[in-house]
Structure 1
Amino acid sequence: MFGAGGRAGRRAVSEAVARGHRVTAVVRDPARHGHLDGDGVTLVAGDVTQADSVAAVAAGHDAAINAAVRLDVSTWEFFNGAAHALLDGLGRAGVGRLVLVGIGTTLETAPGVLVHDAPGFPAEAREFSLGHAAQLDVFRDADTEIDWLVVAPPPVVLDDDAPRTGRYRIGGARILPGGDGSASFSYADLAVALVDEIETPKHHRALAAVAS
């Protein structure tokens, strides 16, 4: 689990452990995330933008989830670098399945029209979304045996307090009905979708919207 210290990452770690999986929680600074270390979880240092680091921490694993993000470097530099490092490192480690947390602003509101291309969309938010879009392009263009999937929640702030319901809808690169912010979606249920796609993959080499 790359980016295990973030909101989506923490929830995904908890969801996977609750299902009986052993999880390697990868963060840049383990000293800041000691709460993650416990039964079923091994906390390690790693850098998702460095292929050697990815290969080292992923060795011996069946699948990977990536929820990592950095705000102290350019978004294009981070997401583009992470995409290449994950493809290289996971390929060397023999990891066959990768599920990534995307962003809802890269979803379509109409065929070929992305949320972040709407008139008046905030410039700073658009730059962040374009970083995600660049990462997606790397995966789409890659000649790889890795079965990857980008899961994009609605383009709103997710609920960090709502309890897990285990219910969600998933599929397609267009915003799902109710996924435009008119209905809330929680990090807990995002984690369910992520781990479900590890256990029983239903979507492959694609961007998939998820909503309540």
Structure 2
Amino acid sequence: MYGAGGRAGRRVVAEAAGRGHEVTAVVRDPARHPAPAGAPGVRVVAGDVTDLGDVARTAAGHDAAVQAAARMDVPSEEFYRAAAEALAGGLARAGVTRLVAVGIGSLLEVSPGVRLVDTPDFPAEARAFSLGHAAELAVFEKSGLDWVVLAPPPVFLDEEAARTGRYRIGGGRVPDLEPALSFADLAVAVVDEVERPAHHRVQVAVSAVSDDPR
């Protein structure tokens, strides 16, 4: 699990450990991110997702990898391209083929062939970050990995909502923004794709399930 100390990463680690998986939580500084209490199957290690050797070392012996790492102090395109290249090479060296990555909703389409990030009113300050994810996606597409990118809606996810275990996955279009998808249910979707791969070499939207019967 790369990016295990982040908002999405922490939930993915907890979800996977709760299902009985052995999890290696890769973070830059283990002192800041100790293993969660009551999760004996979690091992926290130092590693750099942009370093091919670190990826190969930390991924060795695992069945799949999850990428949710981000850096705000490095240009987005530089970081995400470097991370994707290190993952493609490092996972191959470690013999790990399955990769589930957390993407960004602004790369989903609002109409056929038109991504949200390319619409006229999309904020310029957010465009660079989105294009970093696009660079990552381009590297994955050229790799030999069995990858999937799960892209949540382009809004802030709910950090407080409890896990429901319900979510919707559907295509490459921007999904409904309401109700808000929780980080806990995003983690359910990620671990489900690790356990039972249903999408391959594609970016797909993941969103919340409404309780409204209409």
Summarize the alignment of residues 6-155 of structure 1 with structure 2, pairs less than 5 Å apart: 6-36=6-36, 38-142=39-143, 144=144, 146-155=145-154
Where in structure 2 are there 5+ consecutive unaligned residues? 209-214
After TM superposition, the structure 1 stretch with the greater mean CA deviation from structure 2, 151-160 or 36-45, is 36-45
Larger mean Cα displacement after TM superposition, 27-36 or 87-96: 27-36
Which SS does the other structure have where 1:202 is aligned? coil
Query: What do residues 117-165 of structure 1 show as CA deviations (whole Å, max 9, x unaligned)?
Result: 12121111111000001110111122x1x21000000000000000001
SS of the equivalent of 1:86 reads: helix
Structure 1 vs Structure 2 CA RMSD: 1.0
Which residue identity is paired with 1:99? V
CA distance in 2, matches of 1:92, 1:3: 20
Which consecutive unaligned segments of at least 5 residues does structure 1 have? Answer: none
Deviation at 1:35, TM superposition (A): 4.5
TM-score with structure 1 setting the length: 0.95
Aligned length: 207
TM-score with structure 2 length normalisation? 0.94
Amino acid in structure 1 at the alignment position of 2:192: D
State, as a whole percentage, how many aligned pairs show the same letter: 62
Aligned to 2:198: 202
Runs of 4+ in 1 over 6 A off after TM superposition: none
What do residues 169-201 of structure 1 show as CA deviations (whole Å, max 9, x unaligned)?
11311123x2xx232110000000000000000
> Matched residues in 2 for 1:34 and 1:175: separation?
35
Partner of 1:171: 170
